[in-house]
Structure 1
């Protein structure tokens, strides 16, 4: 399926220059002169190479359709992560690198979608958001309320995120896994 260069999103799998690439980060840029473009950081899923590519809105790229299977994360074993097929109960070990930064958000028993290309696992998709507890949050600096200020906080999984000033230690919040950003206070 062909998509426009500006429709590329993190987590997309693209066929580019004869390889299969996973989009890690994107940055949409609209310079003063010239057309808008998408700066895309990608990782080759076969050999692990990384590249930065600039796609203009007129460029098209092939989005790869992968087979998907429902798996459940069981536990981490060093740099290896153990997942279980929810249909056959078969367990597989995958390298932590396959998930990138999103691996920090894995929780025991979390349902994930494993993407397979020619029966080979090449990508793990986590839920878009997760709930986490703040274990440490900086105090609010008085007089900093004139602008929308955020303060750093550390989650129970060790990830550092920026949160609004009213969020305190012990609060459960919803975090976007791929942007590593505060979404809202958990219900």
Structure 2
């Protein structure tokens, strides 16, 4: 679907310069001299490059159709992560680097959302929060103030997070997978 350059909004995925870009910021500009334009900050969905571009109202760009599908994480095989389509039960293999450092939060049976363009995965969304056990942390020192003193803790998946001093080894906590940070004790 073709749209005018002035109609590009943040969050739109467009095909530009032979690849896929997502609009991060837009700013409509009407200079005193010359035609109005839309100043758009784009981020490449494939390699993460950023680009600033001006689109005039007479320019047409192709708005990409992005499908989202739920997949279930099955297992890790070396550097490959294996997922299964929740509807068709077809399996798909993705490189661990496609998921990035958040791959450590994948758990057996976890449902993730894959963004697909022409049946090709271009992005992945993990659940915002996961519950994990703490395998080791420093003991609490009496007299420490609880206000701002956090201590390092190792999670069962090998990731380090900072936790409040009252958290001990063996406890289960809720972790934000985007910020990789402690949220609260698990219920």
TM-score (norm 2): 0.70
Q: Look up the SS of the partner of 2:133 in the other structure.
A: strand
Structural mapping, 1:12-161, within 5 Å: 18=17, 19-20=19-20, 44-46=44-46, 48=47, 50-51=48-49, 66-145=66-145, 147-161=147-161
Number of residues paired by the alignment? Answer: 151
Structure 1 residue 147, shift from structure 2 partner = 4.0
Aligned equivalent of 2:180: 180
1:169 corresponding residue in structure 2: 169
Using the TM superposition, give the Cα deviation of residue 66 of structure 1 relative to its aligned residue in structure 2, in angstroms. Answer: 2.2
Rounded Cα–Cα distance in structure 2 between residues aligned with 1:186 and 1:99? 25
What's the offset of the Cα at 1:102? Answer: 1.1
TM-score (norm 1): 0.70
The whole-number CA distance in structure 2 between the counterparts of 1:80 and 1:168 is 33
In 2, Cα distance between the equivalents of 1:116 and 1:139? 46
Gaps of 5+ in 1: 4-11, 24-39, 55-62
| Residues 22 and 176 of structure 1: CA distance in aligned 2, closer, same or farther (over 3 Å) | farther
CA RMSD of aligned residues (A): 2.8
Q: Which has the larger radius of gyration?
A: 2
Structure 2, gaps ≥5 residues long: 1-7, 24-40, 53-62
Does the residue aligned with 1:97 lie in a helix, a strand or coil?
A: helix
